[in-house]
Amino acid sequence: MGLVTPDFGLIFWMTITFLAVLFILKKYAWKPILKSLKEREDSIDNALQSAEKAKDEMARLKSDNEKILQEARVEREKLLSDAREVKEKIIEDAKTSAKIEADKMISSAKAQIESEKLTALNEIKEKVVSLSVEIAEKVINKSLSSDKAQVDYASSLLKDIEMN
Amino acid sequence: MLKFKVFKVILLSFILVFSGNYMFSQHSEEHQVEKHSKKFNPGEMIMAHVGDEYGWHITTINEKHITIPLPVIVYSEYSGFHIFMSSKFNHGHSSYKNFKIASGKKNPLNGKIVEIINGKEIKPYDISITKNTLSLFISIFIILWIFLSVAKAYTKRKGKAPKGIQSFLEPLILFVRDDIAKESLGEKKYMKYTPYLLTIFFFIFLNNLLGLVPIFPGGANLTGNIAITMVLALFTFIITTINANKSYWKHIIWAPGVPWWLKAPPLPIMPLVEILGIFIKPFVLMVRLFANITAGHIVALGFFSLIFLFGEMGGAPAGYGGAVFSVAFTIFLTMLELLVAFIQAYVFTLLSALYFAMATEESH
């Protein structure tokens, strides 16, 4: 058989078998193989993509958390400073009101003292008058007729006392 | 003009190949005639191994041939269909009914089955299951078995990592799909041609490898047979031509950017060259695969022949001494052939993909 002469029988069998193989492989081998390769590649792709997404999501959450924490910290700071202010104000108010009250009390006390003093003075005056009268009575009883000048003197004395 | 000359040479060789002038066999015959028939004849041995035969010759022990007989199927215009085993020919020594295997160095039908009608040898339509045909059947059986089971593994183990033979073949499948089909044809079109490209790649690769196995299921020179490579190239040619779009034909008949006097009558050189190119492309595919594989077989067998030639010339010691070198060289060559087996499958597939890409390229 010539090496370079295509042999009819072999061409015949090759054409038939190759067509059959091509058909069978295409339908029952390449189709499922290529399909599942594609599917696997797609699923790997998807998995990678979603991993990337999850990573982004994580980063986002983390930065959110950070932000919330920061806000909370600021809020706390604000609350604390507010509280401090309130406290100071309350103390201040308390102090002021206490002082007013105290002043009031002091002034009323003073007024009372004044009035008490006046009363006491008046009492003393009366006592003094009565004492003086008693004294004068006694003196008069002893020397009423003696000297008119003495009576005048006593009255002037009394007058002085009244002036006071 | 140099290009034109090259094409002329290719066209000439095309005519020579198909006109039944056996350049190769005539060349080797001249050597054979000089030698004594009893002596070891490397040319004959090599040609028998790379060629086809009606029975599968395994070995010869003490002048007794051990051959697997294969069915002969012939249709004669004179006596109709005949189916019988090749053992009826008794290794070409006897005839059966009116059929015999033609012999004679100068006989153009040498080695073929002929029917004797009125003393004349007439060639019937011969679709015998020859050695190469059986090898073809064995190889497609292996291919179908491998890939159908791999396909089953893919559907069964959906989305999981490949396992076993699946993981061995997956890189090759991905290689053909991504580096050949997708690379040449582009994202949009590659899926259409990938099944064909995968089929020819694995068909050629497996048969190249089987050709390197020296014992029974392998050993036939299938991808080094011109009929096989011709059918493969024809498939590529047919797919290219069927799928060719307008812009492909326009480039052939009236290539843009070429001066009008090169493509208009009376001397339309460019269209002529392009039309020749349509046929030269598959022709080159056919010859490249055939020549590479056959050459590999011939060289490997040549080194083996050296053992026996040394033995004949210098007795057994020379034969054994020669064997050491020959075996070393043959091992080296077989390694090389393993590489060639892959490269040729790759080149055939890649060029097919490129031809499809050229035929379906959108006009820019």
Nearest alpha carbon to residue B283 among B24, B16, B2: B16
| Nearest CB to B148 within list A3, A12, A29 | A29
**Taking all residues of chain B, what is their mean pLDDT, rounded to a whole number?**
81
**Do residues B221 and B295 share a domain?**
yes
**Do residues B112 and B137 share a domain?**
no
pLDDT of residue A149 exceeding 90, the answer is no
**Do residues B217 and B146 share a domain?**
yes
Instruction: Please report which helix (H) or strand (E) contains residue B29, including its range.
Output: helix B23-34
**Do residues B220 and B83 share a domain?**
no
Residue B276's pLDDT band (cuts 50, 70, 90):
very high
Chain B residue numbers touching A22 (CB-CB < 8 A): 195-196, 199, 235
**Do residues B86 and B180 share a domain?**
no
Cα distance between residue B205 and residue B200, in whole Å: 8
- Asked if B144 has any chain A CB less than 8 Å from its own CB, the reply is yes
**Do residues B121 and B225 share a domain?**
no
| pLDDT score recorded for residue B15 | 44
pLDDT of residue B27 exceeding 60, the answer is no
Q: What is the pLDDT of residues B97-108, one digit of tens each?
A: 778 787 776 777
**Do residues B135 and B223 share a domain?**
yes
The first and second tokens of residue B310, run together, are 């040394």
The ipTM (two decimal places) reads 0.80
Cα distance between residue A17 and residue B129, in whole Å: 12
pLDDT of residue B17 exceeding 50, the answer is no
For chain A, the farthest-separated pair of C-alpha atoms sits apart, in whole angstroms, at 199
**Do residues B328 and B203 share a domain?**
yes
| pLDDT score recorded for residue B13 | 47
CA–CA–CA angle B73, A19, B243 (5° rounding): 140
**Taking all residues of chain A, what is their mean pLDDT, rounded to a whole number?**
86
**Do residues B309 and B181 share a domain?**
yes
Q: What is the pLDDT of residues B144-178, one digit of tens each?
A: 999 999 998 888 887 777 888 888 899 999 999 99
In a domain, residue B318? The reply is yes
Cα distance between residue B295 and residue B24, in whole Å: 12
Instruction: Please report which helix (H) or strand (E) contains residue A132, including its range.
Output: helix A31-143
Cα distance between residue B30 and residue A153, in whole Å: 195
- Interchain CB distance below 8 Å, B148 and A18: no
pTM: 0.73
Q: How many domains, chain B?
A: 2
Q: What is the pLDDT of residues A24-58, one digit of tens each?
A: 999 999 999 999 888 888 999 999 999 999 999 99
**Do residues B109 and B160 share a domain?**
no
In a domain, residue B343? The reply is yes
| pLDDT score recorded for residue B207 | 93
Q: Which residue has the higher pLDDT, B173 or B123?
A: B173
Average pLDDT of the segment spanning B326-353: 91
Q: What is the pLDDT of residues B60-106, one digit of tens each?
A: 777 777 888 888 888 888 888 888 888 777 777 777 777 878 777 67
User: Are B247 and B363 a contacting pair, CB within 8 Å?
Assistant: yes
CA–CA–CA angle B86, B89, B95 (5° rounding): 135
- Interchain CB distance below 8 Å, B20 and A30: no
- Asked if B9 has any chain A CB less than 8 Å from its own CB, the reply is no
| pLDDT score recorded for residue B249 | 87
**Do residues B117 and B191 share a domain?**
no
Residue B340's pLDDT band (cuts 50, 70, 90):
very high
User: Are A1 and B51 a contacting pair, CB within 8 Å?
Assistant: yes
- Residues with Cβ within 8 Å of A19's Cβ and at least 6 positions away in sequence, in order, are none
pLDDT of residue A86 exceeding 80, the answer is yes
Count Cα atoms within 13 angstroms, Cβ side, for B42. Answer: 16
Which chain B residue has its CA at the smallest distance from A24's CA? B144
- Asked if A145 has any chain B CB less than 8 Å from its own CB, the reply is no
- Asked if B130 has any chain A CB less than 8 Å from its own CB, the reply is yes
Q: Which residue has the higher pLDDT, B335 or A162?
A: B335
Q: Return the residue matching tokens 């290539």.
A: B255
Instruction: Provide the 3-class DSSP secondary structure of residue B132.
Output: helix
Average pLDDT of the segment spanning B30-46: 59
The first and second tokens of residue A61, run together, are 């959450």
Q: How far is CA B244 from the centre of its chain?
A: 26
Average pLDDT of the segment spanning B282-306: 90
pLDDT of residue B282 exceeding 70, the answer is yes
Angstroms from A50 CA to nearest CA on chain B: 17
- Interchain CB distance below 8 Å, B174 and A37: yes
Chain A residue numbers touching B127 (CB-CB < 8 A): 8-9, 12-13
Which strands sit side by side in the sheet containing B99-101, from one edge to the other? B99-101, B113-117, B120-122
| pLDDT score recorded for residue B128 | 86
**Do residues B156 and B97 share a domain?**
no
Q: Would you call A24 exposed, middle or buried from its count of C-beta atoms within 10 A (0-12, 13-18, 19+)?
A: middle
Chain B residue numbers touching A12 (CB-CB < 8 A): 127
Q: What is the pLDDT of residues B177-234, one digit of tens each?
A: 999 999 999 888 888 999 999 999 999 999 999 988 887 777 788 898 899 999 999 9
Q: How many Cβ atoms sit within 10 Å of the Cβ of residue B82?
A: 17
- Interchain CB distance below 8 Å, A17 and B140: yes
Q: Which residue has the higher pLDDT, B16 or B57?
A: B57
| pLDDT score recorded for residue A140 | 66
- Interchain CB distance below 8 Å, B227 and A40: no
| pLDDT score recorded for residue B24 | 36
pLDDT of residue B18 exceeding 50, the answer is no
| Domain stops at, among B80, B102, B126 | B126
- Interchain CB distance below 8 Å, A29 and B133: no
Chain A residue numbers touching B130 (CB-CB < 8 A): 7, 9-10
B60-66 long-range Cβ contacts below 8 angstroms, 24+ apart = B65/B91
pLDDT of residue B52 exceeding 50, the answer is yes
| pLDDT score recorded for residue A2 | 65
pLDDT of residue B262 exceeding 80, the answer is no
In a domain, residue B23? The reply is no
Distances, alpha carbon A87 to alpha carbons A78, A90, A99, in Å = 14, 5, 18
In a domain, residue B59? The reply is no
Angstroms from A44 CA to nearest CA on chain B: 9
Instruction: Please report which helix (H) or strand (E) contains residue B68, including its range.
Output: strand B64-68
User: Are B134 and B70 a contacting pair, CB within 8 Å?
Assistant: yes
In a domain, residue B340? The reply is yes
- Per domain, the residue ranges of chain A are 53-157
Which of the 8 DSSP states describes residue B363?
Answer: P
Chain A residue numbers touching B53 (CB-CB < 8 A): 1
Angstroms from B17 CA to nearest CA on chain A: 6
In a domain, residue B7? The reply is no
Cα distance between residue B26 and residue B46, in whole Å: 14
Residue B164 belongs to what domain range?
Answer: 131-360
Please spell the DSSP secondary structure of A49-105, one letter per residue: HHHHHHHHHHHHHHHHHHHHHHHHHHHHHHHHHHHHHHHHHHHHHHHHHHHHHHHHH
User: Are B83 and B71 a contacting pair, CB within 8 Å?
Assistant: yes
- Asked if A39 has any chain B CB less than 8 Å from its own CB, the reply is yes
